[in-house]
């Protein structure tokens, strides 16, 4: 408990046991958190971003086709300005190209987006891949 | 700071004075809502959040705000309140002021126009009403002239839970200001884990220093004979955990944590926990 007199606060000398219980649990939580981060900071290798794109099923939308995709970054470093290009090819010849720029793909995280095409991707080869990024 | 006799005295003076007093309080509330709400009202991310924020998360924010407002009202209401019922009334009034002030400012700034859907307009106002209503409540305590009630016995006791809730309110206020901006994410991407660790330690040190070491008015003292680490374990550490929890909640509400690994989530919490911890400490000083 805290007693306030004339704008001054004074902590009571005889705290309830719940204050100590909460304090101890908090101390445990904070120690565990700091310990975990310190452990990761010591052991983790700062490898460059590892970007993997998985394309979803294309679906017809107004004025074309939409191909959703998910991009995951398995490395512990974040990639910024990730450019993703999707190439639609038929018989080895590129017939359409779409691109999208993702602001960030965070470390050990996923992001999602979609590419839009005028031609139907069904039955053609579609290659979606990241072509570059910058360090944040 | 609160006396039961004060309320009786005012009641005896009759209706017009009470009304004037209440309108005065409303004015201060409006001023507070603007003073504390303007930074968010003029933040770009907050405008777009109005339409893309998930409705259930917005609902959580709006409901979680109520008990915090009631607690604030109990401490620093528009009028000196002596019951929880009056505190509840003051909380709702502050909420109302927050909503009206947000709506008026958003309209004036041209951020609400006729061709927007009701969904977007309501979302925009609702999300802004959270900091504005806390501001409305703070306006009462910070803008009031404190003359005329300095005499007599002024002693209040805050329960331990109340103290933690006060910290949560301060943490929520600063987190709400910062969580919606992109800066938190950019910081997390740029910082190494060592930086994150340093921020966590600095947050705790500042929290403790703000409340105990630095001699601000409203600072806390320990009873003679209590070792300093007692307060650290009993108040600062739980306060920091509360600040981190509030920072997690704010990040979750603003959809900053989706599809993120546990370590990234924790990093975001700690970075936003820095302002949250300062807010929590400040709440213990100011309120």
Residue-wise pLDDT tens digits, A63-84: 899 999 999 998 888 899 999 9
Contact B261 A78 (CB under 8 A): no
Contact B197 A19 (CB under 8 A): no
A14 and A72 in a single domain? The answer is no
Among B259, B269, B280, B285, the residue to mutate for chain A (most A Cβ within 10 A): B259
CA distance A66 to A112: 13
Give me the domain span that covers residue A79. 51-134
- Residues in B touching A38 (Cβ below 8 Å): 193, 197
Contact B99, B125 (CB under 8 A): yes
- Residues in B touching A1 (Cβ below 8 Å): 157-160, 163
A61 and A37 in a single domain? The answer is no
A94 and A71 in a single domain? The answer is yes
CA distance A87 to A55: 12
Residue of chain B whose alpha carbon sits nearest to that of A34:
B197
Contact A13 B259 (CB under 8 A): no
Angle between helices B15-41 and B84-108 (to 10 degrees): 50
Contact B219 A9 (CB under 8 A): yes
Taking the Cβ of residue B187 and every Cβ of chain A, the question of whether any pair is shorter than 8 Å is answered with no
A57 and A123 in a single domain? The answer is yes
- Residues in B touching A112 (Cβ below 8 Å): 259
- Chain B segment 196-215 residues within 8 A of A by beta carbon are 196-197, 200-201, 204
Banded pLDDT at B127 (limits 50, 70, 90): very high
Banded pLDDT at B121 (limits 50, 70, 90): very high
What pLDDT digit, counting tens, does each position of B33-88 carry? 999 899 889 988 888 888 888 899 999 999 989 988 888 888 765 556 667 888 88
Q: Which residue has the higher pLDDT, B93 or A15?
A: B93
Q: Find the CB nearest B189 among A27, A36, A80.
A: A80
A26 and A84 in a single domain? The answer is no
Contact B102, B132 (CB under 8 A): yes
CATH code where residue A81 lies: 2.60.40.10
Alpha-carbon gap: B102 to the closest alpha carbon of chain A (Å) = 30
A97 and A113 in a single domain? The answer is yes
Per the structure block, which two tokens stand in for B262?
A: 């546990």
Contact A27 B221 (CB under 8 A): no
Alpha-carbon gap: B13 to the closest alpha carbon of chain A (Å) = 27
A114 and A60 in a single domain? The answer is yes
CA distance B60 to B56: 6
Contact B26, B92 (CB under 8 A): no
Q: Which residue has the higher pLDDT, A95 or B75?
A: A95
- Residue B126 confidence (pLDDT): 93
- Residue B234 confidence (pLDDT): 87
- Residues in A touching B220 (Cβ below 8 Å): 2, 9-11
- Residues in B touching A18 (Cβ below 8 Å): 160
Question: Cβ of B86: how many Cβ atoms within 10 Å?
Answer: 17
Banded pLDDT at B187 (limits 50, 70, 90): very high
Candidates A45, A58, A54, A46; CA nearest to A130 is A54
Taking phi over 0 as left and psi of -120 to 50 as alpha, with beta for the rest, B225 belongs to left
- Residues in A touching B240 (Cβ below 8 Å): 26, 30
Handedness of CA B90, B94, B97, B103 (dihedral sign): negative
A15 and A70 in a single domain? The answer is no
A31 and A14 in a single domain? The answer is yes
CA distance from start to end of chain B: 11
* Average pLDDT taken over every residue of chain A: 87
What are the backbone angles phi and psi of residue B227, rounded to the nearest 5°?
-65, 150
Instruction: Write the CB contacts of B105 (distance below 8 Å, at least 6 apart in sequence).
Output: B34, B37, B38, B41, B128
User: Helices in B109-236 by DSSP H: which ranges?
Assistant: 118-143, 160-178, 183-190, 193-208, 228-231
A64 and A103 in a single domain? The answer is yes
Alpha-carbon gap: B104 to the closest alpha carbon of chain A (Å) = 34
Residue of chain A whose alpha carbon sits nearest to that of B162:
A1
Contact B132, B97 (CB under 8 A): yes
Instruction: Write the CB contacts of B128 (distance below 8 Å, at least 6 apart in sequence).
Output: B37, B40, B41, B46, B50, B98, B102, B105, B106
Banded pLDDT at B11 (limits 50, 70, 90): very low
Alpha-carbon gap: A57 to the closest alpha carbon of chain B (Å) = 20
What's the domain count of chain A? Answer: 2
């Amino acid at each position: 408990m805290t007693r306030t007199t004339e704008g001054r606060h004074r902590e009571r000398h005889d705290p309830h046991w719940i204050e100590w219980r909460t304090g101890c649990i908090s101390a445990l939580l904070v120690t565990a958190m700091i310990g975990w981060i310190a452990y990761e900071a010591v052991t983790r290798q700062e490898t460059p971003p590892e970007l993997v794109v998985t394309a979803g099923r294309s679906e017809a939308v107004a004025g074309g086709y939409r191909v959703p995709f998910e991009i995951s970054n398995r490395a512990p470093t974040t990639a910024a300005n990730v450019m993703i290009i999707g190439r639609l090819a038929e018989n080895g010849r590129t017939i359409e190209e779409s691109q999208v720029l993702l602001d960030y793909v965070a470390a050990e995280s996923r992001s999602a987006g979609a590419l839009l095409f005028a031609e139907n991707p069904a039955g053609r080869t579609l290659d979606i891949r990241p072509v570059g990024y910058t360090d944040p | 700071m609160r006396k039961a006799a004060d309320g009786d005295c005012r009641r005896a003076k009759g209706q017009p004075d009470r009304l004037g007093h209440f309108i005065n309080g409303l004015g201060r509330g409006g001023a507070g809502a603007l003073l504390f709400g303007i930074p968010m009202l003029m933040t770009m991310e907050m405008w777009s959040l109005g339409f893309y924020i998930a409705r259930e998360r917005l609902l959580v924010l709006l409901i979680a705000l109520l008990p915090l407002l009631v607690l604030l009202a109990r401490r620093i209401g528009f009028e000196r309140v002596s019951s929880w019922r009056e505190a509840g009334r003051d909380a709702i009034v502050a909420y109302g002021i927050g909503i009206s002030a947000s709506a008026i400012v958003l309209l004036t700034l041209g951020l609400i126009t006729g061709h927007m859907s009701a969904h977007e307009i309501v979302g925009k106002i609702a999300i802004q009403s959270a900091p504005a209503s806390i501001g409305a409540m703070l306006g009462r305590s910070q803008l009031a002239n404190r003359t005329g009630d300095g005499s007599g016995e002024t002693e209040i006791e805050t329960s331990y839970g109340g103290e933690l809730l006060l910290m949560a309110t301060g943490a929520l206020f600063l987190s709400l200001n910062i969580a919606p901006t992109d800066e938190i994410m950019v910081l997390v991407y740029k910082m190494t884990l060592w930086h994150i660790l340093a921020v966590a330690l600095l947050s705790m040190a500042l929290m403790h220093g703000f409340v105990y070491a630095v001699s601000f008015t409203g600072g806390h003292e320990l009873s003679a004979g209590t070792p300093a680490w007692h307060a650290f374990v009993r108040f600062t550490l739980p306060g920091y955990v509360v600040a981190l929890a509030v920072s997690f909640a704010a990040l979750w509400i603003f959809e900053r944590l989706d599809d993120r690994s546990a370590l990234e989530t924790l990093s975001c919490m700690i970075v936003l926990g820095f302002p949250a911890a300062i807010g929590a400490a400040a709440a213990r000083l100011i309120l």
